[in-house]
Amino acid sequence: MLDVGRIKQDFPILGQQVHSRRLVYLDNAATTQKPRQVIDALVRYYETTNANIHRGIHTLAVQATDQYEDVRTKAAAHIGASNPQDIVFTRNTTESINLVARAWGDTNLGEGDEIVLSLMEHHSNIVPWQLLARRTGAVLRFIDFRDDGTLDLDQARGLIGERTKLVSIVHMSNVLGTINPVAELAEMAHAAGALLLVDGAQSAPHLPVDVTQLGCDFFGFSLHKMLGPTGVGVLWAKPGLLEEMEPFLGGGEMIAIVKPEGSTWADVPHKFEAGTPNIADVIASGAAFDYLRELGMDSVREHEKAITAYAMDSLQRIPGVSIHGPLDVEQRGGAVSFSMDCAHPHDISTIVDGHGVAIRAGHHCAQLLMRRLGVPATSRGSFAIQRRCRCAHRGVAACEEDVC
Amino acid sequence: MTAPEPQFDELYRDIIVDHYRRPRHHGTLAAPTQQAEGVNPVCGDEIRMDVSIHDAVIDGIAFDGQGCAISQSSASMLTERVQGHTIAETKDVIGKFRAMMVDGAAADSGLGDLVALEGVAQLPVRVKCALLAWNVLQEALQQAAPAAGKEPA
């Protein structure tokens, strides 16, 4: 088990009071708080190493380049990828998905080709494909989910067929918490000759991930949801895929030779990292990868399963509460969305905020999912390593005491 | 400069909860002269409003929609406050309500029950909830301008 008492000491922000109560931060699915180690790494970079990377000869430029590239290796290791050169740094998961839609989609999709998504996707895994469909004439198809919040695999089997060029699916839903059977979807996609993209924004921070076992072709995630700074995303692509893709953004760093009549591209992954990247935050992200590796992702998962089970159990004891998504913690992660008969989610969020408890309310960037559930919004508490059942209890108690 | 600490106990006063649970003038009008609707795209709150105006007087008003207690109670109290009043009086109320919510002005006694929403002004993210119905009413009144014949375009 994790030593949460010690872990909490690493998060300076959690020591404060909000509305005269000790802060209980349960909005980790939106962004996590940052441990001292990440904050220190950011400051240390600016105080000791700051220089532009890849094109400098001087000592600081070499150090900064080494530190930046070292994080590429850590990012690959975090998701079980063998080759750091298959890792592209982006701004966030959204940009990782947009990169694929542009650099792979524009050249590989045409009129009538199909992209299969699900109704539980975040807008970041819907809108880039709508834009791609508009450019190419491709068509979007949506896999529904069952009432228990699990993906309807029978329907998926019917939807994924010879017209399918890409299946793009969320690994762990940011609303329902559902962990989707990615390996099975990979088999279906590959049998149809299609590729599989996995949106790992919620899974990479909370589950052990191995892209080889998942069998996916693209995997995207964001560092700010896993203890790292904002402004760093990762795209992993199966070996060989990036080489075949056209550039995403043009500019410095991504070229080999520039001539008036045209240019040639740098080797991957630099071909996809035009301009000065977010050097400082990538380097600080290295400390986030280290932090999670030292805890062990298996331990992280076990801890979060326990707190999620406790939270769901306590919430269900409140009359008029319904939880959206699977109730079995083996099938879900720590994002727990719920509705209360007596109050609108925005009112719940404001009321528990008065108790110093931070939860999220709204459509969670998943309007298709809200429409499918038949609700305008939900309330969501989401857990991470630095939380204990006691904190979940404070969140639940605030709902119980004051909302109804 | 720090904003005043919100008073959470004050926020959901009984009168707000009462209007939320038992909204007044809820539904539609048989013969509205104006109709308007609005949504807060960020939170999904919706208000549709029917207004009936004759001789520059609001002689009927009704709303429906969905959303949080603040948006729906604000709409309900709005309808009670402006029903039977002239357009000029209504515009005065709109101005006073906006002043309280947006400009931090002290609650004007002319607002009646709406004073109960004063606490929302301390929560910037929730102000838009309270204002939604008022934006919809304003849009409806703009439609009224040609019929009334003397409102500025």
Q: Could you report the per-residue pLDDT of A292-315, keeping only the tens digit for each?
A: 999 999 999 999 999 999 999 999
A392: pLDDT strictly greater than 90:
no
**Does A347 lie at the interface with B, CB-CB under 8 angstroms?**
yes
The strand order across the sheet containing B46-54 reads B34-39, B46-54, B57-66
Most B CBs within 10 Å, among A350, A364, A371, to test the B interface: A350
Is the pLDDT at B6 greater than 60? The verdict is yes
User: What length does chain B have?
Assistant: 153
Identify the band that residue B3 occupies on the pLDDT scale cut at 50, 70 and 90.
low
Do residue A106 and residue A69 come from a single domain? Answer: yes
Whether the pLDDT of residue A282 is over 90: the answer is yes
Same domain, A305 and A251: no
Out of A31-40, A69-78, A172-181, A338-347, pick the least confident.
Answer: A338-347
Same domain, A101 and A190: yes
Total domains in the fold of chain B: 1
Q: What CATH number does the domain containing A152 carry?
A: 3.40.640.10
Q: Are residues A356 and A399 in the same domain?
A: yes
Q: How far is A88 from chain B (nearest CA, A)?
A: 31
SS (H, E, C) A239-297: CCHHHHCCCCCCCCCCEEEEECCEEEECCCCHHHCCCCCCHHHHHHHHHHHHHHHHHCH
Q: What is the largest CA-CA distance in chain B?
A: 51
In a domain, B153, yes or no: no
Same domain, A235 and A329: no
How buried is A378 (Cβ within 10 angstroms: 0-12 exposed, 13-18 middle, 19+ buried)? buried
Range scoring the smallest mean pLDDT among A138-147, A194-203, B102-111: B102-111
- Give the count of alpha carbons within 13 A of B47, CB side only: 36
Contacts of B126 in chain A (CB under 8 A): 346, 350
Q: Which of A38-52, A90-104, B11-25 has the lowest mean pLDDT?
A: B11-25
pLDDT for res B144: 58
| B5-to-A33, A361, B119, B120 alpha-carbon distances in Å | 24, 21, 10, 11
Chosen from B5, B8, B73 to mutate, greatest number of chain A CBs within 10 A = B8
Tens of pLDDT, residue by residue over A150-199, are: 999 999 999 999 999 999 999 999 999 999 999 999 999 999 999 999 99
Per the structure block, which two tokens stand in for A172?
């762990």
Alpha-carbon gap, residue A360 to A383, rounded angstroms: 12
pLDDT of residue A300: 97
Grouping H, G, I as helix, E, B as strand and the rest as coil, residue B108 is coil
User: Which pair of structure tokens corresponds to residue A168?
Assistant: 């793009």
Cis before A181? omega within 30: no
Among A319, A316, A317, CA closest to A327: A316
CA dist., res. A357 & res. B142, Å (int): 42
Residues A360 and A282 in one domain: no
pLDDT for position B141: 96
Does A35 reside within a domain?
no
Lowest mean pLDDT among A112-121, A185-194, A372-381: A372-381
Residue after which a domain boundary falls, among A241, A266, A293: A293
Give the chain A residue nearest B21 (alpha carbons): A342
Domain that holds residue A24: 4-28+296-403
Looking at the partner chain, which of B9, B67, B126 has a beta carbon nearest the beta carbon of A350? B126
pLDDT of res. A386: 80
* A8 touching chain B per CB within 8 A: no
Average confidence score pLDDT of chain A: 95
Asked if the structure places residue A33 within a domain, the reply is no
What distance separates the 2 farthest-apart alpha carbons in chain A? 71
pLDDT tier for residue B2 given thresholds of 50, 70 and 90: low
Q: How many CB pairs under 8 A join A and B?
A: 45
Residue A262 domain-assigned?
yes
Does one domain contain both A219 and A338?
Answer: no
Per-residue pLDDT, B125? 87
What residues have CB less than 8 Å from A3, skipping those under 6 apart? none
Q: What is the pLDDT of residue B63?
A: 98
The Cβ of residue A257 has, within 10 Å, a number of other Cβ atoms equal to: 9
Q: State which residue of chain B sits closest to A360, comparing Cα positions.
A: B43
The C-alpha atoms of residue B120 and residue A350 are separated, in whole angstroms, by 10
Quote the pLDDT of residue A395. 86
Among B12, B44, B66, the residue with its CB nearest the CB of A347 is B12
Residues A182 and A62 in one domain: yes
Q: For the domain that residue A19 is a member of, what is the CATH number?
A: 3.90.1150.10
Number of structural domains found in chain A: 2
* A117 falls within a domain: yes
Domain end: A293, A318, A335, which one? Answer: A293
Classify residue B150: in a domain, yes or no: no
CATH number at residue B78: 3.90.1010.10
- A1 pLDDT above the threshold of 80: no
B114-151 pLDDT, tens per residue? Answer: 999 999 998 888 999 999 999 999 999 998 555 444 44
Nearest to A109 by CA among A59, A71, A164: A164
Give the structural domain span for B92. 8-140
A133: amino acid identity, one letter:
A
Mean pLDDT for the stretch of residues A1-9: 90
For helices B87-102 and B124-148, the axis angle rounded to 10 degrees is 160
Best probe of the B interface among A21, A344, A351, by most B CBs < 10 A, is: A344
Would A328 be classed as within a structural domain? yes
**Is residue B147 situated within a structural domain?**
no
The per-residue pLDDT for B7 is 73
Task: Based on the fold, state whether residues A234 and A167 are members of the same structural domain.
Answer: yes
Runs of H (alpha helix) within A58-215: 59-78, 93-99, 106-108, 127-136, 153-159, 182-191, 211-214
**Reported confidence tier of residue A77, pLDDT bands at 50, 70, 90:** very high
Give the model's pLDDT for residue B145: 56
A371 interfacial to chain B (CB closer than 8 Å):
no
Same domain, yes or no, for A17 and A151?
A: no
For residue B149, tell me if it sits in a domain: no
C-alpha B67: how far from chain center: 14
pLDDT at residue A37 is higher than 70: yes
Minimal-distance CA residue of chain B relative to A361: B43
B46 domain-assigned: yes
Q: Which helix (H) or strand (E) holds A167?
A: strand A164-170
Please tell me the distance in Å from B62's CA to the nearest CA on chain A: 22
Does some domain include residue B148?
no
Query: Active-site residue A365, yes or no?
Result: yes
Q: Is the pLDDT of residue A54 over 50?
A: yes
Final residue belonging to a domain, choices A293, A315, A336? A293
Task: Compare CB distances from A344 to B6, B69, B123 and report the shortest one's residue.
Answer: B69
Percentage of chain A modeled with pLDDT above 90: 92
Decide if B60 is inside a domain. Answer: yes
Q: Is residue B120 a part of any domain in this protein?
A: yes
Percent above pLDDT 70 for chain A: 100
